Amino acid sequence: LSTEDKLEYNFYPCASGQIQFRVRAPNDAHIALTTGPHEGEPMYE
């Protein structure tokens, strides 16, 4: 996955109930866990 350098999240569903990821980035990497495909409460960053 490659994203532009802007402060927006891309949301992807997690049907299996678990996630596994690796990050390789020249700058910061941000991960958000939410209950739906949008920013809201609860949201864990």
pLDDT > 80? residue 1: no
Contact (CB, 8 A) for 31 and 41: no
What gap in Å lies between CA 43 and CA 17, rounded to an integer? 16
Assign 5 a pLDDT band (cuts: 50, 70, 90): confident
pLDDT at 37: 87
Q: Which residues pair with 34 in a beta bridge?
A: 43
The residue with greater pLDDT, 17 or 4, is 17
Task: Name residues whose C-beta falls within 8 Å of residue 10's C-beta, 6 or more positions apart in sequence.
Answer: 1, 3
pLDDT at 7: 80
Report whether the peptide linkage leading into residue 42 is cis, meaning its omega lies within 30 degrees of zero. yes
Number of domains in the chain: 1
What three-state secondary structure class fits 44?
A: strand
Q: What range defines the domain where residue 28 resides?
A: 1-45
Assign 30 a pLDDT band (cuts: 50, 70, 90): confident
The residue with greater pLDDT, 2 or 36, is 36
